[in-house]
Structure 1
């Protein structure tokens, strides 16, 4: 009579042993069938059925680690269990960290592209609901706080030190290289090159503490300057200010350099939208020849100029480059003239695969090198000759910085920085 709990055709006792000809590696496959593979043809029993070929199918990589632990138990070697579980832990941790890196970068890309418009539309929608009072209170606060971005903003060290920025840094990864000390008794204007599509290196290095800007340059407060239009967008403006980002206009820069004490560093992406239209992997070019406004500001305030070059900034996205005179370039220039930014047709990798197109940037290293400061005298009304002289000094200093470090960060010695 069959024992209780066993159906017809089921017999108690140990599982059948594998044939003698099966190797030790095949025995792991046998264990996998016992512990993991469902019986072909239905049923809930876990045993080596005749319909399953011998040796069993190769288990997935993660399962192999667990199998190793089980095989150790069967052989009576408990040390194998600990080793296998440790390997499994580090494997899972590595995968989790990679997913967190992707999430951290994706949230910033979406912030850059749609957060301002999305928050504006949501606020307008709330005004039309029963929760209109919440939106009205925020709008009242917005009017009261309107000029704060032009007066140094409202940075938050807590936001700048969020753990998400460290995952953002490690996705590429991004590094900040210091070449000279900066005096806390002086103010500075950093010229950041190149713009790239989104200026990812500029954001990570100077609007967060992920790469240790506060430790590398103690006593220096960095302010990344960006389009003033971003600070007219609800919620987005507060998010940007929390990272120490300010409008790139004269009122904002004048305030920081004249009414905010010393030890301030304003980071200006000099090439702007025009430079972003020409960025492409493998190309090192900057838009600088006719960009002299930042030099004039430095002279008016006696702020030292610091050249900054980010190796790899142009490698993280690919874009369609429209030739001069084409309809595409005409549209881009019209946007740039009237709105302040130029739309680009670009792509990175997909969310689930690096072999597909998407909005995520490619995982390419970005190394930002902060060069030697150029001492600038204070001239209340600098002449064009003064501006041209110090602009020439700045261009020469940037080229020297590029030539000195290009071979250290993956470029050939023959590579030349193109200045347009």
Structure 2
């Protein structure tokens, strides 16, 4: 936890030097990541001439790590200093992404190369995200977790607003492979700021009888044994399954079927991400007004109807309607994420943070490679628009686990301090 010198003065976490360093580093990294989210699929479509199925497989590779190493990552991270994990995986992601423009310069870029980049960055992201969400409670007090997550989510939303537009222009000016190089540099920037954090909790004690399988089991029992966490995992995992199905075919629809330029595709992403910024600003007030539990299920419910716009979009005024619908989705998803992540962090004992976060990531992100594969497969078989309609119908039902749980009536959610 923080020491006396690191506790924020009046004015909130902006005056907390350690949190501010983490926030700056992560904000720049998020900005770069939004560029590669657009650039990698466009590299596959425009440079390598990938099929719809191959683009879906690329999304699968990006998320496959959550199935492959999601559970053991939590046990491993709990044995290490979170700060060191963040730095190492930032650097490794930078190296992996930098290999794409190098391969393009040498004239050897292929789908195999892109699959490898996606898989390596995915594995690093697993370790980074587990350590990142576990590091925040070590930097700030538990009562400041909602504020911390709201500020971090706000910077991510700003990145999603500006990143796609800037990325689209850079892709047109530099070509997509070289735009990815900026993402690599952003991860190095993030590593430098995390390295400047001076709060360095002691490395967890090495227990002579520690056992990886037992430690993984402890994380699973903590999450699956709690009905509230179990409902959140089921809701989020279902939503992510359908969202990743949409991600695997959306760029194909915009770039190939509608023949939109990278700049216009990026602009659509930027306009829609304004909703995410609004969600980060409204989350605390919304949860305070309706209660923490209702805030989770209401925001999950609100996401679904907006997805029905995408299957109908054409190269006309409906593009504006798509941007509005995606803004509504972003707003609802950000409110949901801030509320449920803050609850999870506050509920979990410190010694289990890494395993809890890894278990949740395994359960809720492990569905994403499956969704990416299914989206690419369905897009090839029944068509892109039909696949997006399947996504809309399935996503509409994803709120049911949290609605049917005790969360529906809980204005205040339990925390670790209360639970023990």
TM over 0.5: no
Q: TM-score range by the shorter chain?
A: under 0.3
- Larger relative contact order (Cα-Cα within 8 Å, sequence gap ≥ 6): 2
Name the structure where helix makes up a greater proportion of residues.
Answer: 2
Return the index of the structure with the highest Cα Rg: 1
Q: TM-score, normalised by structure 1?
A: 0.26
